Amino acid sequence: MSDLLASEIYAPDAAETPLLAIAGVSVLKAAPVTRLSFRGREKARVAAGKAFGADLPVIAMTATVSGNRVAQWMGPDEWTLLAPETDLSSVWERLEGALSAEPHALVDISDRQLAILVSGEKAAWLLNSGVPIDLHESALPVGTVTRTLYHKVPVVLWRIGPDTFVVEAWVSFMDYVSGLLVQAAEELKAA
Amino acid sequence: MLLIHCPYCGVERPEIEFSCRGEAHIARPADPSATTDEEWAEYLYLRTNTKGVYAERWRHIHGCGRFFNAVRETVSDKFLKVYKAGEPKPDLDQIAKEAGK
Amino acid sequence: MSQPFRTEKGGRIDRGAQLSFNFDGETLQGHKGDTLASALLANGIHLVGRSFKYHRPRGILTAGSEEPNALVGIYRQGDQTPNMRATQVELYEGLEAISQNRFPSLGFDIGAVNDLMSPLFPAGFYYKTFMWPKAFWDRVYEPIIRAAAGLGKPPKNPDHDKYANLYAHCDVLVVGSGPAGLAAALAAAETGARVILCDEQAEFGGSLLSEDGATIDGKAASEWVAETIAALEAKDHVTLLPRTTAFGYFAQNYVALAERVTEHLSDPDPKLPRERLWQLRAKEVVIAAGAIERPMVFPENDRPGILVADAGRTYLNRYGVKVGHKVLVATACDTAWQAAFDLADHGTEVVAIADLRHNPPENLIAIAEARGIRVERGCVITGTNGRKRVSGALLGRVSPNGAVSSAGEVTCDAILMSGGWTPTVSLYSQSRGKVVWKEDMGAFVPGLHVQNERSAGACHGVYGLTETLADGYAAGEDAAKAAIGKTAKLTYATASGADAGTGGTLGDLPHDRNASRVKAFVDYQNDVTAKDVKLAVREGMHSIEHIKRYTTTGMATDQGRLSNMNALQIASTALAKPLTDVGLTTFRQPFTPTTFGTFASTSRGDFFDPVRKTPSHDWAVAQGAAFEDVGQWKRAWYFPKDGEDMHAAVARECAVARESVGLFDASTLGKIEVVGPDAAEFLERMYTNPWKKLAPGRCRYGLMLNDAGFVIDDGVVGRMAEDRFHVTTTTGGAAHVFATMEDYLQTEWPDLDVWITSTTEEFAVAAVQGPKAREVIAPFVEGIDLSADAFPHMSVATGTFCGVPCRLFRISFTGELGFEINVPRRHGKMVWETLAKEIEKHNGVPYGTETMHVLRAEKGFIIVGQETDGTVTPDDLNMNWAIGKKKADFVGKRGLARPDLVAEGRKQLVGLLTEDPKVVLEEGAQITKDANPATGTPAEGHVTSSYHSPAAGRSIALAIVKNGRALMGETLNVPMPDGAIPVEVVEPIFYDKEGARLNV
């Protein structure tokens, strides 16, 4: 797992058994994190980056990683801010304190979605069982974060290593995503 | 399945990430109460529905979430231009001419 | 075991690996590497099926996926897959196959009487024969036709196999692995481009696999194939897909492939999918699909034992199988001569080569004569003998003026025929390219390109091995350059042998027989003869599209691949129009039949659609709850106890909720956090209600319209802070409301400083409703004063619940004292289970959506989508109180003033009471004035909600009725099959009209 860009944020949940662990690919539930949706214009973006400790990127589909702070570009005025689970109130207060004069919207979405870690040499192949975009590194370099679909469900895909992806989906969709991934990986177990 | 270029993400993505929201450049009247019944009905219901070069609203709903505008040739289904919301309506005749339509 | 038609040696089969298989109950032997067709032929079996219409005995015609006759059912793991082409089915140990379209047996088929009665079934016979009497169509004709027609039997059981889906991308897709495809793949791969090479066959190599004579770069063709495949396999960026058919070419180089993963295995690992759908996006495509040999259209050209010539050569050279011991070769082109030579060299007697041409190439004649083969020039077959297997042929001499005279009869047990080659332009055509006619080749070839593709080799109209290879290399280079801007010039391999031939014919051939009595088949699969096509023209079908539908030629799985060109020529002659003026029918997807399983891939069973579950789901399952689907959500419907039915359970749940307390999972309601300085202004514009004066800590019911003025959603909105609102929507409307809000924000009012975020799944929501609700929640709430004065109806506050953060709403959808507890989703289960235990102390109950519906209907609360249908206004619902009268504008305000929306006679929400309190009306039932209205009388309205109400002690209903408010106390009727039910129109509220129970 040395290729993990963000192991400080997303780590397998030690309390959970792996959804899938076979040669070639594993699917692990990630431990909870603090997730905040941040919306605002340019001045708010700059101020938020300072208060948060990681710049909110302006380049589409990129993420800024700074220690245990991650700012992911979701849209031109939308970012997801990630921090350790226990930092929710401190991050919230720092941001709201720094942005009192600047129009913005900060919303806690820590519980809205679940994350899984899909890694291994077959990770991209496995995700392409339902993700319609090109996952070749030339088309989706390490560090890319993007919304897309997994079969019929919206997901956020963050490539944190050549063979490691974080896949997030709304809580009630995760059974569908992880269930189909496990089903699609079944053939890798064939002799 | 079409490939559509999102002007905000800067990439081409498959059609299933997008939703089409009908003809572009139809602004909601600034003062609806000042419109006649006919004008309001036209705003609500009447669209050009061009066979040929047509400007449409699309939303990258399973991507950056942004609405943008696209010029599509409705016969060949080819996208001739995409541009961000708020940018002026391009000259469709000119685009049609350049595309040889 | 004897395989009487197996050669001594040669071919690509594994002679050391003998396999047993079963055909129509008979156990036979073949070899690894055989197809079912080649194994049957090795056993001397040509008769494999009966034809579609006339039930004529039919044999194997081809060696490829274009096979029209040899369609068989394959048994696998207890079920049968119909219509598999024997020419594509790979043999495995224990394979079980059955012939189709015959009863009681293949040898004796009662349906064959159709052949004798064939004058009754001319082209268009459906349209002519079954027209009268009209009433017979549904009950007599159609069932009989359906029972008699069709090919194969559909499987009876659910498909137990798994299917997979894969989205893939590449720089260059090469379709077909014959010489052109292999060369293209090599050239493209050399540049480093990501290449996918697919071929419908099990082995790569295409025509090279049956090309014994030719060499490439001095090596045997098969050796060159092996080396090329090894070179491609060695490259990481190349994907080789055998057994994979490119069956559909769609917009922007989106190509669908069907990969048969386990079809060829006798005992596949159940972990493997049977087939995989590849949804492939290629930057560039090379189509190297080859060409298909045309049958010759002569009388009785369909007997078992008659094959296209190249198939005979393929069976011989690739599979080591002789199609017969005495073979007649009939041709109009050069390539069939090579088949005759190869057969003769393997000891098969070639009784004659009958070439339609008067002057076939002298060098071929010399080779034939050297082998002692009789050559007939200007010669056609004018008929054949033999019922279940061809036994002989009549030959005819064609004079230069076209007249035919008998040239005697020959005895044979097989006939190889070649009318020339048709380039396979199906995929090119699907890419929306328009073919062009090449007069010198007598063929349509690809013309202008609409998409990023190019054709190479025979499908491009290029023949001859050296030329084909060169065309392939060039196509591969061109594709890679276009895809990634790189070229890597390879030295082109050159070939010796397999030169381009000449010749070919189109349409039906001349003969000296009575034209009205012979059948010369154009489309084998659909039993269409040359006569049928001519008849269609005589009867007025002048467009090829009409001829196709009238005769059915080129329809179904053939899609014209074998039959199109001959049919076109016959039509062209009959119409006395040039062939290019007759037009060409469309080559539709799929290229070959593709299973429903492949299309559905994983969208079946548990994964047909996402199943969304609430935090209380597992608890409710354990309680034995019944569930209902609400969109993708599974919601607890009711909680039956001790064998209760729904009616009893709901009556109990309703009563307890009003007497004591009920617990309901409201997590599925849509939730949107609206935040920013302009949040109130934004809601002013989106909802009918006023928001600016709503104080933080207070809630308001919100009604949402579209700009036409019709109700589209509703929900309670709580103001959390000056600049923050917690908006709720209906469960079903959540996504649409969010998208609508985004639309207005982004495109109409981008200047507003407000942003919206979906929090539907951030919160789990437990609703506690009933007189004891406060007592139930009080022990767990911290930081909120729950007293009626401090926290009145329509309040919201933040605090903690069971020690976790919560947003507590005091709201009611039941008319009782009620609270909704919103906690972060991860705590939802804990909070629910805590409350479920707590309500037991008050003899409370959990309740489901059905009870929720009854409780709200008793209070006359609407449900959007039940009382509304997209044409209902606030006034229709008696809800003008929800409209902010002082607001200059909101979405829908102008719409409400439209003439139709203010006109008299609109349908309005009312209550209905049946005369008999036990009768519960049907939802959706129409309402009329008269008990027995005349046919055509418009309904006055319809029932929108109807239940038995425990609180009212009788049935109740809500309805939308024309001028309903003016009809209070009057009697209307609900006509039903058993007679009209009289109903009294009443106010749409049935319980606690004063609302006293709320304010406690």
**pLDDT over 60 at A4, yes or no:** no
Contact B4, B70 (CB under 8 A): yes
Percent of chain C with pLDDT over 90: 88
| pLDDT at position A191 | 77
| pLDDT at position C125 | 63
Residue of A nearest to C678 (CA): A103
Give the length of chain C. Answer: 1000
pTM of the model: 0.95
Tell me the C-alpha distance between C880 and A39, whole Å. 35
CA-based nearest distance B97→chain A, Å: 33
Asked whether the beta carbons of residue A130 and residue C165 sit closer than 8 angstroms, the reply is: yes
- Secondary structure class of C826 (helix, strand, coil): helix
Tell me the C-alpha distance between C692 and B98, whole Å. 51
Contact C546, C136 (CB under 8 A): no
Contact A55, A38 (CB under 8 A): no
Amino acid identity of residue A62, one-letter, is T
Cβ-based contacts of A43 with chain C (< 8 Å): none
**pLDDT over 70 at C134, yes or no:** no
Fold of A33-108: Alpha-Beta Plaits (3.30.70)
Q: C104 pLDDT band (50/70/90 cuts)?
A: confident
**pLDDT over 60 at C549, yes or no:** yes
- Domains in chain C, start-ordered, CATH in brackets? 1-159 (3.10.20.440), 163-291+423-496 (3.50.50.60), 295-419 (3.50.50.60), 505-577 (1.10.10.1100)
Tell me the C-alpha distance between C414 and A60, whole Å. 68
Q: Which of B4, B13, B59, B60 to mutate to test the interface with A (most CBs of A within 10 A)?
A: B13
Contact A30, A89 (CB under 8 A): no
Q: What 8-state DSSP symbol labels residue A50?
A: H
Contact A155, A166 (CB under 8 A): no
Q: What 8-state DSSP symbol labels residue C842?
A: T
Amino acid identity of residue A11, one-letter, is A
Residue of B nearest to C252 (CA): B2
Half-sphere exposure of C994 (CA within 13 A, CB side): 4
Tell me the C-alpha distance between C343 and C365, whole Å. 16
Mean pLDDT of the region A151-160:
97
CA-based nearest distance A36→chain C, Å: 10
Tell me the C-alpha distance between B17 and A61, whole Å. 15
Touching check for B2 and chain A: CB below 8 Å? Answer: no
Helices (H) and strands (E) in chain B, counts: 2, 6
CB-closest option in B40, B76, B85 to C894 = B40
Tokens 């994983």 identify what position? C602
DSSP letters for C261-326: SSTT-SS--TTS-SEEEEEEEEEEEEE---EEEPPPB-TTTTSTTEEEHHHHHHHHHTT-B-S-SE
Asked whether the beta carbons of residue A146 and residue B14 sit closer than 8 angstroms, the reply is: no
Among the listed residues C900, C915, C973, the one whose alpha carbon sits nearest the alpha carbon of residue C943: C973
Tell me the C-alpha distance between A173 and C241, whole Å. 33
Q: How far apart are the first and last CA of chain B?
A: 22
Longest dimension (CA), chain C: 115
Asked whether the beta carbons of residue B28 and residue C889 sit closer than 8 angstroms, the reply is: no
CA-based nearest distance A191→chain C, Å: 8
Domain ranges of chain A: 20-31+112-189, 33-108
* Beta carbons within 8 Å of A109's beta carbon, 6+ residues apart: A35, A36, A37, A80, C757, C759, C762
Touching check for C676 and chain A: CB below 8 Å? Answer: yes
At C883-909, the pLDDT tens digits run 999 999 999 999 999 999 999 999 999
**pLDDT over 90 at B80, yes or no:** yes
CB-closest option in B8, B14, B17 to A60 = B8
Pairing of the two strands C414-418 and C306-308: parallel
**pLDDT over 80 at C446, yes or no:** yes
At C492-505, the pLDDT tens digits run 999 998 888 899 99
Tokens read off for C825? 């989703």
Tokens 């004796």 identify what position? C108
CATH number of the domain residue B84 falls in = 3.30.2270.10
CB-closest option in C610, C633, C759 to A176 = C610
What are the backbone angles phi and psi of residue B67, rounded to the nearest 5°?
A: -80, 140
Q: A36 pLDDT band (50/70/90 cuts)?
A: very high
CB-closest option in A103, A131, A136 to C676 = A103
At C270-279, the pLDDT tens digits run 999 999 999 9
Mean pLDDT of the region C129-134:
61
- Secondary structure class of B41 (helix, strand, coil): helix
Contact A41, A35 (CB under 8 A): no
Residue of C nearest to B68 (CA): C747
Q: How far apart are the first and last CA of chain A?
A: 27
> What total number of domains does chain B contain?
1
State chain C's mean pLDDT as an integer: 94
List alpha helices for chain B, DSSP H.
37-45, 92-98
H or E segment to which residue C296 belongs: none
At C653-711, the pLDDT tens digits run 999 999 999 999 999 999 999 999 999 999 999 999 999 999 999 999 999 999 999 99
Question: Model ipTM?
Answer: 0.97
Describe chain A by its helix, strand, coil percentages, rounded to 5.
25, 35, 40
Angle at C475 between CA C469 and CA C480, to 5 degrees: 130
Tell me the C-alpha distance between C944 and B54, whole Å. 41
Contact C806, C799 (CB under 8 A): yes
Among the listed residues C845, C533, C822, the one whose alpha carbon sits nearest the alpha carbon of residue C661: C845
Pairing of the two strands A104-108 and A153-161: unpaired
812-851 of C, contacting A, C-beta below 8 A: 824-826
Asked whether the beta carbons of residue C675 and residue A106 sit closer than 8 angstroms, the reply is: yes
Quote the radius of gyration of chain A (alpha carbons, Å): 17
| pLDDT at position C612 | 98
| pLDDT at position A3 | 44
Q: What 8-state DSSP symbol labels residue A16?
A: S
H or E segment to which residue C285 belongs: strand C275-287
| pLDDT at position A1 | 37
Pairing of the two strands C326-331 and C349-355: parallel
- Secondary structure class of B100 (helix, strand, coil): coil
Q: C152 pLDDT band (50/70/90 cuts)?
A: confident
At C385-404, the pLDDT tens digits run 998 999 999 999 999 888 99
Among the listed residues C47, C39, C35, the one whose alpha carbon sits nearest the alpha carbon of residue C1: C39
List alpha helices for C420-522, DSSP H.
426-430, 465-484
Touching check for C894 and chain A: CB below 8 Å? Answer: no
Asked whether the beta carbons of residue C742 and residue B67 sit closer than 8 angstroms, the reply is: yes
| Of residues C406 and C106, more confidently modeled | C406
Tell me the C-alpha distance between C539 and C761, whole Å. 66
Longest dimension (CA), chain A: 63
Among the listed residues C56, C561, C533, C575, the one whose alpha carbon sits nearest the alpha carbon of residue C295: C561
CA-based nearest distance B54→chain C, Å: 18
**pLDDT over 60 at C517, yes or no:** yes
Which stretch of B11-25, C68-82, C817-831 has the lowest confidence by average pLDDT? C68-82
* Beta carbons within 8 Å of B60's beta carbon, 6+ residues apart: B4, B6, B8, B9, B13, B17, B18, B66, B68
Per the structure, the complete domain to which residue B26 belongs is given by 3-98
Tell me the C-alpha distance between C629 and A153, whole Å. 18
Tell me the C-alpha distance between B54 and B51, whole Å. 8
Cβ-based contacts of C281 with chain B (< 8 Å): 3, 14
Mean pLDDT of the region C565-594:
91
Tokens read off for C124? 């268009």
Q: How far apart are the first and last CA of chain C?
A: 93
At C593-616, the pLDDT tens digits run 999 999 999 999 999 999 999 999
Cβ-based contacts of B61 with chain C (< 8 Å): 739
Q: What is the dihedral of CA C95, C100, C102, C108, to 10 degrees?
A: -40
| Of residues C221 and C557, more confidently modeled | C221
How many CB atoms lie under 10 A from the CB of residue C720?
18
Mean pLDDT of the region C304-318:
98
CA-based nearest distance C756→chain A, Å: 8
**pLDDT over 50 at A2, yes or no:** no
Tell me the C-alpha distance between C653 and C977, whole Å. 32
At C204-250, the pLDDT tens digits run 999 999 998 899 999 999 999 999 999 999 999 999 999 999 999 99
| pLDDT at position A129 | 98
- CATH number of this structure's domain A20-31+112-189: 3.30.1360.120
**pLDDT over 70 at C95, yes or no:** yes
Mean pLDDT of the region A48-65:
97
Touching check for B1 and chain C: CB below 8 Å? Answer: yes
DSSP letters for C613-671: E-TTHHHHHHTT-EEEEETTEEEEEE---TT--HHHHHHHHHHHHHHS-EEEE-TTSEE
Q: C557 pLDDT band (50/70/90 cuts)?
A: confident
Tokens read off for C948? 């038995």
Describe chain C by its helix, strand, coil percentages, rounded to 5.
25, 30, 45
Tell me the CA distances in angstroms from A89 to A6, A95, C697, C756, one per residue in order.
Answer: 21, 10, 21, 21
Tell me the CA distances in angstroms from C97 to C1, C74, C305, one per residue in order.
Answer: 19, 5, 20
Contact C348, C327 (CB under 8 A): yes
At C171-196, the pLDDT tens digits run 999 999 999 999 999 999 999 999 99
Residue of C nearest to A149 (CA): C167
Contact C912, C969 (CB under 8 A): no
Tokens read off for B42? 């036209």
At B27-69, the pLDDT tens digits run 999 999 999 999 999 999 999 999 999 999 999 999 999 999 9
Contact B53, B80 (CB under 8 A): yes
